[in-house]
Amino acid sequence: MTDSRVPRRRRFLVCEPRHFAVQYAINPWMHPDTHVDVDLAQEQWRTLIRAYEAHGHDVAAVEPVPGLPDMVFAANSAVVVGGRVFGSLFHAPQRRPESTHYDLWFKTAGYDVHRPAAVCEGEGDLVWTGRYVLAGTGFRTARDAHREVQEFFGHPVISLTLVDPHFYHLDTALFVLDDANIVYYPEAFSPGSREVLARLYPDAVLATRDDAMAFGLNSVSDGRHVFIAPQAEALAVRLDDHGYVPVPVDLSEFHKAGGGIKCCTQEIRS
């Protein structure tokens, strides 16, 4: 089955963790007294970039800004579909200045950027499936932003309610494998949202709480290779059984801030 999985070349936007730290607490993973090994974080991040490039993906980078320790989590900056950029308006005031710097990068690269009126945290809560947008709400992105996204892109938006604060963003509880399937942790969602996902993806790979707590759902797939936290061993085995190729990349320093592989990776879809 593995040979039938076809990777698709991706273009990613990232931000070096030069100023990464845990200076405030805006999710259950964050504790301001936590020590971050910045040198280790940078090496882990560089390993991720090398893994992407070794598998044929293009990587662009935004310059990090002092005083914005979470800017490394590039996925939260926007969602890009068909070359159109829907920007971010962060829930936490500490992160709101990040939007200006990411918007400037996109504008300099020739993109127009839509600034949302409602709180919206980019690919953290907006997951493009190739057919529609799965949109998370409950902790960060407002439901009003889902309507904005649908009007902006002209693609259907399916709202999903998150109920466990450990999985405060959709990309900590769900990721897309390819145009046909996803992986998700059911208990991160409200009962109605679980029913919606079960109807849309009857053959989805279901994750356990252990998988999710190991940041196994904060993964990136190119349709064949799945860049995944090595701590999510059981999920990697299930993905292999389904014909995907796990590529373990350890971003454990970033787990201290509630982030992982996907959080550090914004996809630019032209």
Residue reference for tokens 């950029």: 85
Q: How many CA atoms lie within 13 A of 120 on its CB side?
A: 26
CA distance 232 to 246: 10
Token pair 């997951």 in the structure block, residue: 127
> Nearest 5°: phi and psi at 182?
-135, 170
* Residue 35 appears among annotated catalytic residues: no
Residue 196 is classified by DSSP as H
End-to-end CA distance of the chain: 29
Choosing from 114, 169, 225, 255, which is the catalytic residue? 169
Tell me how far the alpha carbon of residue 214 is from its chain's centroid.
15
Give yes or no for a contact between 95 and 76, defined as CB atoms under 8 angstroms apart.
yes
- In terms of phi and psi (left: phi > 0; alpha: psi -120 to 50; beta: otherwise), the region of 215 is left
Measuring CA to CA, which residue among 226, 227, 246 is closest to residue 237?
A: 246
Tell me if residue 169 is catalytic. yes
Q: How far apart are CA 3 and CA 79, in angstroms?
A: 30
Q: Is-contact 181 203, C-beta < 8 A? A: yes
Q: Which residues are designated catalytic?
A: 169, 263
